[in-house]
Structure 1
């Protein structure tokens, strides 16, 4: 059904968002008095530069009246906003309580609710979202004849074949719905998507219902004045997924599991669980060998097979168990041998990617670890796999600018006492200088036995780490975290081309 001024107002009124419609003739709630109220909008946008004849323009965020200069000449049919812009345009204005919520609902209406034509799986948690998304996508693709789409912080795929680099963990609501519509046109039956805390904070998934959702884990992250002011706010935003799904998959044990179970009970949402330690979980995994390279997978107490992944780490096995639980919830027969087979070869470039130096007893591990929990998990893996060799460990790291201020200290706290050397270097930033972030991280180092250096150029930082490892007697490990395979570094709001951590290591180690 086409989106019109009348139907848009009806949708917004039903959601409790509509205030009134403002036209040059006056303020009203009566659509019969507005010319063109039943004419379909030709497009919907939140970018005033994209206005074409018949466009519904949604004015959200830090929107300025000057952005509507020329909008009438461009053919804007109406606008949605939280205030009156009648001084800038003669088009009808749909005034709402929250423009971001309105955008999400109207995007779904404009594209004829593609989310209802897909089995949508959402994944949230502090760490493991991307890996779990890839594992879940692999299972659903294998079991559906490659009819599974993917929205992740690394890549998006809407046709089951082609992958494009993504900009956000969870796309803006209008962009996400448009991609869902494209997935439907390509014959996709499933969609797996990461859902960030910010997605709920800024209403990117407002009104979106998931057929199944996973809550992997929770630990402090993204705590800053411009993201989540407190951990309580961060957890509260992530918890919203529970009331917006038909079934919940929950990682156990966990400090906040009882609260999440209470959320699910109040919403009438059934809960499945996954675990590496609790054999009574819906999906459980236990190490089948001393080095934890193979794991026995059980579903409801029944052993369905052993699993060895292409990516190391117990946390990746936990992510695989979550993916199996999600597939089970949406009706996949997870006892089918194709399920475990589909997981065995999954690789994500830049995640737990190990490379051996051809010139010394050194390995490098490139990973996206970027907070306390993920850095601790990475070092736990190093201890488990290589601890007996007493390696000299260098950590090459930075931290994102303009957000997640807590990470700068927590990355250091997770690593000092467990490594021999920090090399602080550039990572992505909007406005903050790289040198300021690196100096802050360096100042958080309190262990006098840990060496530290600041090398702002990321390539040079890795080169220095390699040179130091080659000059060290014995076995060395270089951990390079935060960027993975990304071929750019965000510097003062510009995407500057970058070789990629993985490619720098391969070139130096060749």
Structure 2
């Protein structure tokens, strides 16, 4: 770890990011002329509170220069910013074109490019990223002797064994590179990571190159003033993974498949495909029974075995097929029976979690479904598995605040003619009032026979849902979507503690 002012300037110039270096003596591009320019930085950070003597501070986003006073006191050695802050500090400033790109470039350099010591596997798509990442991690970890790291929206794992709850689908570049270095130091050889559209939108994965990337699917989502202004922008950001990989795994028959294949051809990226029940795909899974509780997997037409997943649903078997295709392209022998069997008992808390009530004929399914596509897939599973029992179906749902506004109409559209009752409640509202979100969702209901209730407090709503089911004759299915096992709710921009849908149901059903 020997990043200096000189090497930082060199790397930023190489990426065409550096404007100039501003010092008390003037403006220059000659880093060697700056005092102590060959002294290694002791640390790199984007948080002024974490500055230590000799640190390089990257001023990213809407940075307020008043915080530089504290950074000066703590011993900041230099800063990187898109603006000149020489009125606030005497240390050298590397003025750049894009602070997020600069952060990624400098993080990789500071930690001696751990990305080059790992087989990097990136997974993107509207639906299924997390499950596919876990399945891929399970296969490669099993077959590589626990030498596979994982970055996901649920957990991060840097030693192949222990998991720590994550904050973002794709970490900030500095945090991701730091964890990569930890993974390498822990003996990891592979890294499986989710790559969100926002990661490319705000350059969290700038200069990351993947050995294998997967593009699972694409459907309208994440379109809002604070995410992507249009579907075109959303898809464009996701497509960036194709030009940044050596090999691509693609969901066969994805929307805009022709465009994605054109991307791959333009950048000379070979493509393999996965699908359900499609002999034309390189990896396919076919149901072996009418209720789709087991699937046989094929690689290039040859059977590699039969699998029954702990997390049921056709969409999870599609995710498993994607994982097999990714692992194969990463050089793993997926014909070894251990590869498939590594998935059989895998569960992700809050995803397709089925629980039976000990006190009534009620089945609860807790899932992170949060848009039209994912809820439709969940309801398809319910119909396929339990439709002949004619259950009374209640859906508990909310929707995220301030973003992805189309989710609200999409959830109602997917559900209103397939469930008996909808209870609208609190989800992560950010700064948008829950009352406004629920009212908007209710306004999209056009089915006059649908029972719609609104209970703003989510814990109260879950309790009400269970009590209603217990009072009702016959078979009940209650679907709780959007939060899964998350133990917090972001309400009015504050993370507030929440027991979690899974935990409440588990406690009540015991």
- Cα distance, 1:461 vs. partner? 0.6
- Cα distance, 1:495 vs. partner? 2.1
**Cα displacement string for residues 241-281 of structure 1 (whole angstroms, at most 9, x for unaligned residues):** 00001100000112211111110000111101001032121
In the alignment, structure 1 residue 51 sits paired with structure 2 residue 51: yes
In 2, Cα distance between equivalents of 1:134 and 1:391 = 31
In 1, Cα distance between equivalents of 2:288 and 2:116 = 41
- Cα distance, 1:406 vs. partner? 1.6
- Cα distance, 1:4 vs. partner? 0.6
In structure 1, the residue corresponding to 2:343 is in which secondary structure?
helix
In structure 1, the residue corresponding to 2:229 is in which secondary structure?
coil
In the alignment, structure 1 residue 314 sits paired with structure 2 residue 336: no
**Cα displacement string for residues 361-388 of structure 1 (whole angstroms, at most 9, x for unaligned residues):** 2101000001111000000111111111
Tell me which residue corresponds to 2:156: 156
Tell me which residue corresponds to 1:263: 263
In 2, Cα distance between equivalents of 1:32 and 1:361 = 75
Tell me which residue corresponds to 1:491: 491
**Cα displacement string for residues 135-192 of structure 1 (whole angstroms, at most 9, x for unaligned residues):** 0000011011111111000011111121111110000000000011111111111111
- Cα distance, 1:314 vs. partner? 0.4
Residues 97-106 or 397-406, more deviating? 397-406
Give TM-score scaled by structure 2 length.
0.99
- Cα distance, 1:342 vs. partner? 0.4
In the alignment, structure 1 residue 37 sits paired with structure 2 residue 22: no
In 2, Cα distance between equivalents of 1:242 and 1:301 = 26
- Cα distance, 1:494 vs. partner? 2.4
In 2, Cα distance between equivalents of 1:87 and 1:263 = 46
In 2, Cα distance between equivalents of 1:255 and 1:183 = 35
- Contact 2:57 / 2:80 at 8 angstroms: preserved in 1? yes
**Cα displacement string for residues 43-94 of structure 1 (whole angstroms, at most 9, x for unaligned residues):** 1111111111111111110011112123223211111111100100011111
In structure 1, the residue corresponding to 2:120 is in which secondary structure?
strand
- Cα distance, 1:435 vs. partner? 2.0
**Pairing 1:234-253 to 2, within 5 Å after superposition:** 234-253=234-253
- Cα distance, 1:473 vs. partner? 2.5
Residues 126-135 or 493-502, more deviating? 493-502
In structure 2, the residue corresponding to 1:496 is in which secondary structure?
strand
**Pairing 1:28-427 to 2, within 5 Å after superposition:** 28-427=28-427
In 2, Cα distance between equivalents of 1:72 and 1:509 = 56
- Cα distance, 1:134 vs. partner? 0.4
- Cα distance, 1:482 vs. partner? 0.7
**Cα displacement string for residues 344-402 of structure 1 (whole angstroms, at most 9, x for unaligned residues):** 11110111111111222210100000111100000011111111111111100111112
Gaps of 5+ in 2: none
In structure 2, the residue corresponding to 1:70 is in which secondary structure?
helix
In 2, Cα distance between equivalents of 1:70 and 1:141 = 44
Residues 136-145 or 458-467, more deviating? 458-467
RMSD: 1.0
**Cα displacement string for residues 172-224 of structure 1 (whole angstroms, at most 9, x for unaligned residues):** 00000001111111111111100000000000000000110100000001110
- Contact 2:484 / 2:502 at 8 angstroms: preserved in 1? yes
In structure 1, the residue corresponding to 2:285 is in which secondary structure?
strand
In the alignment, structure 1 residue 25 sits paired with structure 2 residue 59: no
In 1, Cα distance between equivalents of 2:184 and 2:2 = 17
In 1, Cα distance between equivalents of 2:454 and 2:164 = 33
Gaps of 5+ in 1: none
- Cα distance, 1:497 vs. partner? 1.7
In 2, Cα distance between equivalents of 1:501 and 1:32 = 58
In 1, Cα distance between equivalents of 2:353 and 2:317 = 15
In structure 1, the residue corresponding to 2:94 is in which secondary structure?
strand
In structure 2, the residue corresponding to 1:349 is in which secondary structure?
coil
- Contact 2:296 / 2:303 at 8 angstroms: preserved in 1? yes
In 2, Cα distance between equivalents of 1:140 and 1:431 = 41
Residues 196-205 or 492-501, more deviating? 492-501
In structure 1, the residue corresponding to 2:246 is in which secondary structure?
coil
Q: How many matched pairs?
A: 510
Tell me which residue corresponds to 1:476: 476
- Cα distance, 1:27 vs. partner? 0.7
Tell me which residue corresponds to 1:446: 446
In 2, Cα distance between equivalents of 1:176 and 1:330 = 21
In 1, Cα distance between equivalents of 2:479 and 2:70 = 52
